[in-house]
Amino acid sequence: NAIVVLVLLLVPIVRTDLVFSATTVSSSQPTCRYLPTDAKWPDQTVWDHMNQTVGGRLIRGVPLGQPCYTPQFSAEECSRIQEEWVLLSPFIADPVNFMSPYWMNNSCSPFLGPNGSCMLGNLASYALDVNSAEDAIAGIRFAQDNNIRLTIKNTGHDFLGRSAGAGSLALWTHNLDEIAFVNYSSPLYTGPAVRIGAGVEYQDLYLAASSQGYRVVGGSCSTVGVTGGFSQGGGHGPLGAAYGLGADQVLEWEVVTAAGQHLTVSPMNDDAELYWALSGGGAGNFALVLSVTVQAHVDGPVAGAAFSFVNIGDDIAYWAAVSAWLRTLIVLDTIDGLTIVWTITAGALSLEFATLPDVTTTDVINNTLAPFFTELAELNVSLTDSYKTDVHANFAEYYDVWVSQTYTSNISIGGRLIPRSMVQDQNTALPALVAALRGITSGGAQILGVAANVTHGNYTPNAVLPSWRDALFTMSFATSL
């Protein structure tokens, strides 16, 4: 990634009509998109011409599992794919495959060959390696002119099927990898910022920001792209309680609309409504994002903490300890800047990491957790020396030590935002919540909780669900498939 420093002044952009869900296709055309089996699907000559138009960057979609099937069978390659199938790495740099076998519908599972059937299924038929706005415009117009589906793919962290699309042309933004630090000036924000290409992942952005003396708000998973579902969907992460959600950081978006227009949208120009919608309204709904400019924050020390305890067979004591933890989150919520990430299963609760920036000791965390640890002892629930704390020189160093980089792709997930009022109601709502968590985990699911008071930070009103501001924590439920 190229890292440059420059000065950026906000300039007005002339308004043009847009909306990504809108269509410029004639009303005489069918409402259903053509599939490869349809007579009006573009023939190879049409695809070849499109490939020439975009400088040879059109890529035919190929299922990752194809080497496990005849006639392309390769025992060595198939074995490698099988070993990596539940990991994230094979999908990140692939133009059409994404990280959810559920949405692929086992259409080319590497475990069902070599004599079975291997089909694209829900994967895109072709991907366009987008290197510029002109590429994106060409792809959008091609899809409209030929009445085929259009999908967007970056790294493929997609557990809701939004990158899926049988018979689609995928706009693949993975190689838009610019990182440029700027001095941003507008009536709403003046200060350090960073312009980030749609293909940039947090593992690169965190290090780049640290090298310039900054930190940026991002996610826990290092390979998630900045501009997609994270920033457009809200975006929680280790620095959420300090600066707000990912969407709250956005100063402007560079996009291509369904009408084929290349725009820069901000709260201060005529496309302010599109800025509002993109900032928390959901990825892929309103425009194709080429880059985003977000706030950068001066770096400094960051404290971390972690612990765990297990269910030794006394369910009553264990779930009483879980209840005590949820009550403790109400107290932790009052500490400015403190973000808590934790997991619960039927057998253990773990504080995966606590993040508290701009402190030089862990005293605040220690003192706040002390009453909770006392309650655990009274329940005969032991931490077994698992409580660890440390302070690091900057956020990138903290992240490298504390935040787990082990993730799997073969899961089904759901989630809920839990309001503060639910945990504060200790007579009725809290016991009901604990009972619900117990029921969920009894079936083998894991619960990931992120507690961050995201009412802090300097942000412009946006499309983020207002319940985020009232939530004590968000929970994700994950079940292996």
More confident call, 407 vs 370: 370
Q: Are 297 and 395 in contact (CB under 8 A)?
A: no
3-class SS of residue 3: strand
Kindly list the distances between the CA atom of residue 68 and the CA atoms of 97, 99, 409, in Å, as whole numbers in the listed order.
Answer: 15, 18, 19
Strands 388-392 and 288-295: unpaired
Give the span between the Cα atoms of 87 and 96, in whole angstroms: 16
State the SS3 of 127-155: EEECCCHHHHHHHHHHHHHCCCEEEEECC
Cβ neighbours of residue 78 closer than 8 Å, sequence gap 6 or more = 65, 67, 68, 110, 113, 114
Q: What is the mean pLDDT of the chain?
A: 90
> Domains plus CATH for the chain?
1-61+124-299 (3.30.465.10), 302-480 (3.40.462.20)
- What letter does residue 201 receive in the DSSP assignment? B
pLDDT in tens, 446-459: 999 999 999 877 77
With a cut of 90, say whether residue 280 has pLDDT above it.
yes
Q: What is the pLDDT of residue 73?
A: 96
Q: What is the pLDDT of residue 328?
A: 98
Tell me what percent of the residues of the chain surpass a pLDDT of 90.
77
Mean pLDDT across 432-439: 97
What phi and psi values does residue 230 have, to the nearest 5 degrees? -65, -65
> Which residue from 265, 367, 334, 325 is spatially nearest to 475, judged by alpha carbons?
325
pLDDT in tens, 183-240: 999 999 999 999 999 999 999 999 999 999 999 999 988 888 888 888 999 999 999 9
Q: What is the DSSP string of 368-412?
A: HHHHHHHHHHHTT---TT--EEEEESSHHHHHHHHS-----SSEE
Q: Are 266 and 252 in contact (CB under 8 A)?
A: yes
With a cut of 80, say whether residue 113 has pLDDT above it.
yes
Q: What is the pLDDT of residue 18?
A: 37
pLDDT in tens, 319-378: 999 999 999 999 999 999 999 999 999 999 999 999 999 999 999 999 999 999 999 999
> Which residues is 295 bridged to in the sheet?
193
Q: What is the pLDDT of residue 28?
A: 60
Give the span between the Cα atoms of 353 and 356, in whole angstroms: 10
With a cut of 50, say whether residue 20 has pLDDT above it.
no
Mean pLDDT across 39-60: 97
- Burial class for 396, CB neighbours closer than 10 Å (0-12, 13-18, 19+): buried
3-class SS of residue 333: coil
Q: What is the pLDDT of residue 284?
A: 85
Q: Are 97 and 172 in contact (CB under 8 A)?
A: no
Helix runs in 54-109, H state only: 75-84, 89-92, 101-104
Q: What is the pLDDT of residue 419?
A: 97
> What is the separation of C-alpha 126 from the centre of its chain, rounded to a whole number of angstroms?
24
Q: Lowest-pLDDT range, 46-55, 155-164, 294-303, 349-358?
A: 155-164
Q: What is the pLDDT of residue 91?
A: 87
Q: What is the pLDDT of residue 3?
A: 37
Half-sphere exposure of 47 (CA within 13 A, CB side): 17
